[in-house]
């Protein structure tokens, strides 16, 4: 299989700089246009993945999992993300991929790793591990669009050893990028990621699908950790960081620097403004969902615990701005 221009550009640029490519993980109510712009302002990865998007919803707005702005890009959102789709019906992936192509998106990723109960109940995410025929048909259907098609999965559903058969099967489907969260569905995030299987996964890729790029995810807090992993495991192409952004919005800096509380609160003010702009177009996300981000900026190690707690009691972005304007009272 020939690598698409989309992923080959990203991969070749990283190789030229003697490093893996870095991406920000798809995270529900996190990886939207608002937060992507904040991370871009701080320090962008090589590529973003979108929030989870129900494949059927792209062409059928009457579904119980509507798109609700997940595909919207504000004017300042400079990087068109990889759209992560979930579901299990090939006709939904075929229609969604074609629609996304017409909307100007260049790449899609098929969600085979989400452990959420609602997603599994509706036959998406890790339910595809238990039903590999759905995974294969979704990939085939998505490819008909001509877009770059990748997949994100876990090592298995119940046992780590499942990766021997499951990842072999996925590699045989000829996806352009295979992202592996190094835990099983049942492990959730309760155990350390299984870094010990990385070399075996790379060996499988080299034998089965040498043109498929391998990206890993799980317990990678920052750029430096990802770079070290790639150096320790030759052949590893990409590093995906998820929850690390909640510890540090500058997580993709190649040379880590100290960032002041004022810098961090500047990012928060940017997010508040972008959130208000987005809210004028869509009724989601609600303000309550914004509160999960406060811990990113008002950090205890910078003496901002009281400031953060005060923001948790707010009911609007204007309330937050008022506290930020009087932040000295809380520091």
Q: Give CA torsion, residues 274, 54, 221, 235, to 10 deg.
A: -130
Q: Cα–Cα distance between 248 and 142 in angstroms, integer? A: 34
Angle at 201 between CA 196 and CA 82, to 5 degrees: 110
Cα Rg of the chain, angstroms: 20
Q: Cα–Cα distance between 215 and 236 in angstroms, integer? A: 7
Core vs surface per residue 3-39: b (16+ CB within 10 A) or e: bbebbeebbeebeeeebbbbbbbbbebbbbbbbbbbb
Question: Looking at 14, 114, 141, 197, which residue is catalytic?
Answer: 114
114 flagged as catalytic: yes
Q: Cα–Cα distance between 302 and 297 in angstroms, integer? A: 10
Q: Cα–Cα distance between 247 and 298 in angstroms, integer? A: 11
The residues assigned a catalytic role are 114
């Amino acid at each position: 299989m020939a690598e698409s221009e989309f992923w080959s550009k990203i991969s070749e640029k990283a190789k030229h700089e003697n490093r893996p490519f870095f991406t920000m993980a798809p995270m529900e109510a996190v990886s939207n246009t608002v937060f992507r712009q904040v991370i871009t302002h701080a320090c962008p990865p090589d590529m973003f993945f979108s929030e989870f998007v129900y494949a059927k919803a792209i062409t059928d707005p009457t579904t119980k999992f509507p798109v609700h702005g997940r595909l919207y890009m504000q004017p300042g959102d400079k990087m068109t993300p990889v759209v992560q789709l979930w579901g299990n019906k090939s006709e939904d992936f075929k229609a969604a991929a074609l629609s996304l192509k017409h909307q100007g998106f260049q790449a899609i990723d098929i969600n085979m790793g989400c452990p959420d109960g609602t997603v599994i109940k509706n036959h998406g995410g890790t339910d595809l591990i238990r039903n590999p025929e759905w995974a294969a048909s979704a990939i085939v259907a998505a490819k008909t669009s001509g877009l770059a098609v990748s997949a994100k999965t876990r090592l298995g559903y119940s046992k780590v050893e499942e990766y021997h058969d499951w990842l072999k099967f996925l590699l045989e489907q000829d996806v352009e990028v295979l992202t592996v969260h190094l835990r099983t569905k049942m492990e959730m995030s309760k155990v350390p990621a299984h870094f010990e299987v990385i070399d075996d996964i790379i060996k499988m890729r080299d034998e089965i699908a040498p043109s498929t790029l391998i990206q890993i995810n799980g317990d990678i807090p920052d750029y430096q950790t990802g770079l070290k992993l790639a150096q320790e495991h030759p052949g590893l192409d990409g590093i995906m960081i998820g929850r690390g952004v909640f510890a540090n919005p500058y997580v993709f800096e190649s040379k880590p620097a100290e960032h002041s509380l004022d810098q961090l609160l500047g990012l928060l003010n940017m997010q508040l403004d972008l959130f208000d702009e987005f809210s004028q177009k869509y009724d989601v996300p609600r303000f309550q969902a914004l509160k999960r981000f406060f811990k990113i900026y008002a950090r205890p190690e910078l003496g901002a615990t009281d400031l953060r707690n005060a923001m948790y009691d707010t009911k609007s972005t204007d309330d937050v701005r008022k506290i930020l304007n009087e932040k000295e009272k809380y520091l």
